């Protein structure tokens, strides 16, 4: 069997699927695992941009599927991490260029080459989504703490259950602790209350993410990035480590947090 | 219509049995045609394909599965005596055996003992949470053991009972029965309809209580359910 196929999906667009895929890939590769990212958003590719590999694309996913390129030829090697690769989507084609069966075949080949295959799903629940989910061993559902994103995530969970892909694991992205505290944003508990699936990550809102996406250097490479740390925690959980969810209250000092812990315990 | 392709309902969904011995591409096409004839019926269905001793290469099976998938039908299982077909199905991640039926339940031996006034009552029991985008439509009553999430819909000719949180849309007495009721452990639907009446939920105050909604004097009213009644 070998490598594990992880599909990152969300239903709603713009919640951070591509950012999540890029950062998890970097975080997993930084632990020494061999990782390949697969951009399944044919026609609207941007994983290559976020990973800073756009200028090195020669072959893409559709070239492999249609036999114009061998798997190895289309795997772009990231120069910053030794074991990180990208297979980009085709920009000039559409979702119908690839079938779920093609994706399963491709991923089965990749399993022999790498430890992790991260599939970046397009938004929506149509062909592109089915392509991305077909090969998955595990599905990560990204949502934002807002009602419409959670509604779409709920739809995705229902579709995954129907496809027998399990309920999936949840990543809550772009949480603003101070807004939650004011009662202006859904809390982690509110989201879990509706979706009722296992949580694997909570990523705080971080302006640095936008900067790093534009620069093509995922935040997980930056030791000081808070969002990057959250993605590194997800990577460790994916590898089976039991990593506690840190409190997102950044306004409190360490001693205040320590004091709060004691009051809670007593 | 040929009887070389038989379709019937089984515990796991639908079973298509192909006994036709003709060329596979033609047979596959015929199966697809049968699906298309009743597209609405098959949509969302989980399919088991039984092909006897016929050998089907993985590429052909994959193509059929994609064609099903495009029609909203998921092929889950392939039953065959052919080793080639079985290994092709396994390579595609399909199951090759139908799950064993559960041991015969005690209920099976129970003799029906229902008063005549209940005999005409017909209900479906949904034992899971209905998530966004799901709908249940039934001429009789609908009972859900689980939540009804926002974006899910229930339409029942009779009553709706939700042992969980009702937050989607519920329409009881959809055929015009104004005596129909809707009950839930937490009654907070996006919209509630009984027969021709429509109501939305007031803002929640306090902890949720089991409630029952019914039509009273031309309005939908929800009353807390209390055991002393």
Ranking A152-161, B20-29, B100-109 by mean pLDDT, the lowest is B100-109
Same domain, B127 and B209: yes
Instruction: Kindly state the tokens that stand for A91.
Output: 């920009």
> Does B111 map to a domain?
no
Mean model confidence pLDDT for chain B:
86
Same domain, B124 and B220: yes
- Sort out which chain A residues have CB atoms less than 8 A from B89's CB and list them: none
Alpha carbon A7 to chain centroid distance? 7
Q: For residue B123, what are the β-bridge partners? A: B141
Same domain, B12 and B85: yes
Q: Which residue of B has its CA nearest to A151?
A: B132
Quickly state the pLDDT bin for B76 (edges 50, 70, 90).
confident
* pLDDT (mean) for B153-158: 96
> Does B14 map to a domain?
yes
Q: Name, in order, each residue with C-beta under 8 angstroms of A104's C-beta and a sequence gap of 6 or more.
A: A134, A135, B62, B92, B93
Same domain, B81 and B127: no
Which secondary structure element, helix H or strand E, spans residue B151, and what is its range?
A: none
Q: Write the residue in B62, B91, B151 that is nearest to A154 by C-beta.
A: B151
Q: Is A214 helix (H, G, I), strand (E, B) or coil?
A: helix
Q: Is A199 on the interface with B (CB under 8 A)?
A: no
Q: Write the residue in B69, B74, B151 that is nearest to A151 by C-beta.
A: B151
Q: Which residue has the tokens 């640095």?
A: A208
> Does B127 map to a domain?
yes
pLDDT over 60 at A166, yes or no: yes
> Does B140 map to a domain?
yes
CB A199 within 8 A of CB A170: yes
Q: Do residue A154 and residue B66 have CB atoms under 8 angstroms apart?
A: no
Which secondary structure element, helix H or strand E, spans residue A201, and what is its range?
A: strand A199-204
Distance linking the first and last C-alpha atoms of chain A:
49
Could you report the predicted ipTM of this complex, rounded to two decimals?
Answer: 0.77
- Sort out which chain B residues have CB atoms less than 8 A from A196's CB and list them: 129, 147
Determine whether A153 is exposed, middle or buried from the number of CB atoms within 10 Å of its CB (0-12, 13-18, 19+): buried
Same domain, B85 and B122: no
Report the gap between the CA of A127 and the closest CA in chain B (Å): 8
Give the B window 79-118 contacts with A, CB below 8 Å: 91-93
Same domain, B138 and B215: yes
Range of B157's domain? Answer: 117-224
Tens-digit pLDDT profile for residues A59-87: 999 999 999 999 999 999 999 999 999 99
| Domain termination residue (choose one: B91, B107, B130) | B91
Report the gap between the CA of B113 and the closest CA in chain A (Å): 35
The CATH number of residue B25's host domain is 3.30.750.50
The per-residue b/e assignment along B36-70, b for 16 or more CB within 10 angstroms, e otherwise, is eeeeeebeebbbbbbbeebebebeebbebbbbbbe
> Does B229 map to a domain?
no
Q: Do residue B65 and residue A101 have CB atoms under 8 angstroms apart?
A: yes
Of A101, A62, A70, A76, nearest to A25 (Cα)? A76
Ranking A127-131, A150-154, A248-252 by mean pLDDT, the lowest is A248-252
Tens-digit pLDDT profile for residues A33-56: 999 999 999 999 999 999 999 999
Same domain, B27 and B67: yes
Which secondary structure element, helix H or strand E, spans residue B175, and what is its range?
A: none
Same domain, B124 and B82: no
Q: Is A100 on the interface with B (CB under 8 A)?
A: yes
Q: Which residue has the tokens 């007593």?
A: A266
Q: Which residue of B has its CA nearest to A160?
A: B131
pLDDT at A215: 93
> Does B53 map to a domain?
yes
Same domain, B65 and B158: no
Tens-digit pLDDT profile for residues A181-213: 999 999 999 999 999 999 999 999 999 999 999
Give the phi and the psi of residue B210 in degrees, each rounded to 5.
-60, 135
**Which letter does DSSP use for residue B219 in this model?**
E
Domains and their CATH numbers in chain A = 4-265 (3.40.50.300)
pLDDT at A110: 97
> Does B60 map to a domain?
yes
CA A151, A154, A156, A160: dihedral to nearest 10 degrees?
-170
Same domain, B194 and B132: yes
Sheet with A138-143, edge to edge strand ranges: A76-77, A84-87, A35-39, A116-120, A4-9, A138-143, A169-175, A199-204
Mean model confidence pLDDT for chain A:
92
Give the phi and the psi of residue A93 in degrees, each rounded to 5.
-120, -175
pLDDT over 70 at B101, yes or no: no
Q: How many CA atoms lie within 13 A of A6 on its CB side?
A: 27
Q: Is A192 on the interface with B (CB under 8 A)?
A: no
The CATH number of residue B155's host domain is 2.160.20.70
- Sort out which chain B residues have CB atoms less than 8 A from A143's CB and list them: none
pLDDT at B163: 97
Domain count, chain B: 2
Quickly state the pLDDT bin for A252 (edges 50, 70, 90).
low
Same domain, B220 and B127: yes
pLDDT at B106: 55
């Amino acid at each position: 069997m070998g490598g594990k196929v992880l599909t990152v999906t969300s239903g709603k667009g713009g919640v951070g699927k591509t950012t999540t895929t890029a950062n998890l890939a970097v975080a997993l590769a930084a632990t020494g695992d061999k990782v390949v990212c697969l951009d399944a958003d044919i026609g609207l590719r941007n994983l290559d941009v976020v990973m800073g590999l756009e200028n090195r694309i020669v072959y893409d996913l559709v070239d492999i599927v249609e036999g114009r390129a061998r798997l190895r030829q289309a795997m772009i090697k990231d120069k910053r991490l030794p074991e990180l690769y990208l297979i980009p989507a085709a920009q000039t084609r559409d979702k119908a260029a690839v079938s779920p069966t093609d994706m399963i075949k491709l991923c089965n080949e990749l399993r022999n080459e790498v430890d992790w295959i991260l599939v970046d799903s397009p938004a929506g629940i149509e062909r592109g989504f089915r392509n991305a989910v077909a090969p998955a061993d595990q599905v990560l559902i990204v949502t934002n703490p807002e009602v419409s994103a959670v509604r779409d995530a709920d739809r995705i969970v229902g579709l995954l259950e129907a496809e027998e892909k399990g309920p999936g694991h949840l990543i809550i992205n772009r949480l603003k602790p101070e807004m939650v505290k004011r009662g202006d944003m859904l809390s982690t508990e509110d989201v879990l209350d509706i979706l009722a699936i296992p949580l694997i990550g909570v990523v705080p809102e971080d302006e640095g993410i936008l900067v790093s996406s534009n620069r093509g250097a995922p935040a997980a490479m930056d030791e000081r990035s808070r969002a990057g740390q959250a993605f590194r925690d997800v990577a460790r959980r994916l590898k089976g480590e039991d990593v506690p969810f840190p409190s997102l209250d950044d306004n409190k000092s360490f001693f205040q947090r320590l004091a709060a812990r004691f009051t809670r315990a007593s | 219509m040929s009887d070389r392709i038989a379709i019937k309902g089984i515990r796991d969904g639908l079973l298509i049995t192909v006994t036709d011995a003709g060329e596979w591409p033609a047979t596959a096409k015929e199966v697809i045609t049968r699906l298309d004839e009743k597209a609405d019926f098959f949509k969302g269905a989980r399919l088991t394909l039984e092909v006897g001793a016929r050998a089907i290469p993985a590429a052909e099976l994959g193509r059929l599965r994609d064609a099903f998938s495009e029609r909203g039908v998921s092929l889950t299982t392939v039953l065959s005596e052919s080793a080639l077909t079985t290994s092709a199905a396994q390579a595609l991640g399909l199951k090759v055996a139908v799950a064993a039926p559960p041991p015969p339940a005690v209920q099976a031996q129970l003799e029906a003992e229902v008063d005549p006034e209940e005999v005409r009552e017909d209900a479906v029991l949904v034992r899971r949470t209905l998530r966004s985008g799901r709908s249940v439509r039934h001429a009789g009553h609908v009972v859900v053991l689980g939540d009804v999430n926002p974006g899910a819909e229930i339409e029942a000719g009779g009553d709706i009972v939700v042992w969980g949180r009702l937050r989607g849309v519920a329409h009881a007495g959809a055929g015009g029965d104004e005596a129909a009721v809707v009950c839930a452990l937490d009654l907070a639907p996006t919209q509630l309809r009984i027969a021709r009446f429509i109501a939305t939920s007031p803002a929640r105050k306090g902890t949720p209580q089991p409630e029952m909604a019914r039509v009273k004097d031309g309005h939908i009213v929800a009353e807390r359910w209390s055991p002393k009644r």
